[in-house]
Amino acid sequence: MNRIQTRGNIPLCGEVTIQGAKNAALPLMAAAVLHRGTTVLHRCPQILDVEYMSGILRGLGCTVRREGQTLIIDAREISDFCVAAQPATCLRASVLLMGSLLGRCGCARLPYPGGCTIGERPIDLHLQVFERMGAQILPEEEGIGVYAGKGCAKEPGCARADGAAPPDRARLQGCSLRLSFPSVGATENAILGAVLAEGTTELDGCATEPEIAELCRFLNQKGAKIEGVGRQRLVITGVTCLQDSQYTLMPDRIVAGTYLLAAAGTRGRISVRGVCPEHLGALTEVLQKSGAKLKTGRDVICMDAREAYLPVSSVRTEPYPGFPTDLQSQLMVFLTGARGVSTLEERLFESRFLIAGELQKMGAELAIHGRLAVIKGTCGLRGAIVQARELRGGAALVAAGLMAEGETLVLDSHFIKRGYEDICRDLSGLGADIKEL
């Protein structure tokens, strides 16, 4: 089933509970490789990207099994330090295994990471971090080899079949370094590499996304020594081993934001439960400017969007706590229904406007000028056949279908399953006319 059909022009109303965070689950799964034992993740979302990462871990020798919303990872034995090309080329987060395997085995071989087609996403910063920590970087035919010291380079035996480190296995060396850009992935990889490194790592210029703080809390619970959680400067004192642990994942702020914007676009009234409102400050500010009325509690956001018609100018995507790039497509859809001209600037990825042409099929009036989108609100979208090309854009097109007059068919909707457990279930629970075909 790779198509989603909607009949729009129905206000979304009711209550929805948010799944565990995709962008926290994947780094925590990679981090589980650092520990020669068991990791239990509760509230782990049942999405394709988690399945992809589970397959990669199994390929390395881990045992991974699911019990409902709980994922159990047994990493006592690592039989390989080479990440297989499939499904790694489907998953950008596979690059995080570089830090984990370097800490666990002293070496890592990975294909170039894949994922959504939202623009160039080089891993130069990741490699610079590990070079500063004493690693050798060796380009290989189909990927990259990274070795923690000269003794490991080109030696397959640096990872024993039982996963134990050989006596002379080199470790990454703690150091002081500053990231030239607050990259989420590079920050996470640096943390993973530093946890079992020798000495202390002082990391400045870190990204501060909530999912990074989640990774730090998870690792500290396993016995890591990370100070400065949630700040731009982290101090990580290397330890020799970690311990078994259980951890409950934070809610997915992007899924929550998607449903808030979908409801706003249909001029609905919803309550989004199981969220951290402080993680969505940039979005709620935009929604309030549009005329929506919001109330927040400890783990809930309530919104009345019946008067959310005002255009919003000069929204631009930025690292946290700025407006998240993962909600830019959904915001674009919402703004097609505003009464006036809105502008959106994409500052992080150059191909985040992939849905613009699809929205134009639905009657949207918008123009793209490089990294700037100018959206002229219309009287309403029209149902059409549109095509998803990546995760967030696919979810945004579903939201567009819910706003449109008539029937909309979203093709290639499998992209959406990479990050949303069941978008049709969640939205139909809010009154949407939506189904998979």
Is 22 annotated among the ligand-binding residues?
yes
Question: Which residue, among 22, 27, 39, has the nearest Cα to 193 in the 3D structure?
Answer: 27
Is 124 annotated among the ligand-binding residues?
yes
Active site residue 206: no
One DSSP character per residue, 50-72 reads HHHHHHHHHHHT-EEEEETTEEE
Is 121 annotated among the ligand-binding residues?
yes
Is 92 annotated among the ligand-binding residues?
yes
Structure tokens that stand for 44 in this block: 């782990």
First vs last Cα of the chain: how many Å apart?
5
Which residues, listed in sequence order, are joined to residue 201 by a DSSP beta bridge? Answer: 236
Tell me which DSSP letter residue 144 carries.
E
Residue type, 20: G
Tell me which DSSP letter residue 206 carries.
-
Q: Which residues touch 122 (CB under 8 Å, ≥6 apart)?
A: none
Is 220 annotated among the ligand-binding residues?
no
Given the residues 82, 105, 116, 424, the one annotated as active site: 116
H helix count then E strand count, the chain: 13, 23
Is 66 annotated among the ligand-binding residues?
no
Count of alpha carbons within 13 angstroms of residue 249, beta-carbon side? 27
Is 57 annotated among the ligand-binding residues?
no
Element (H, E) at 42: strand 38-42
- Give the span between the Cα atoms of 264 and 399, in whole angstroms: 10
Is 359 annotated among the ligand-binding residues?
no
Annotated binding site for UDP-N-acetyl-alpha-D-glucosamine: 92, 121-125, 326, 348
Q: Would you please indicate which residues are annotated as catalytic (active-site) residues?
A: 116
Annotated binding site: 22-23, 92, 121-125, 326, 348
Annotated binding site for phosphoenolpyruvate: 22-23
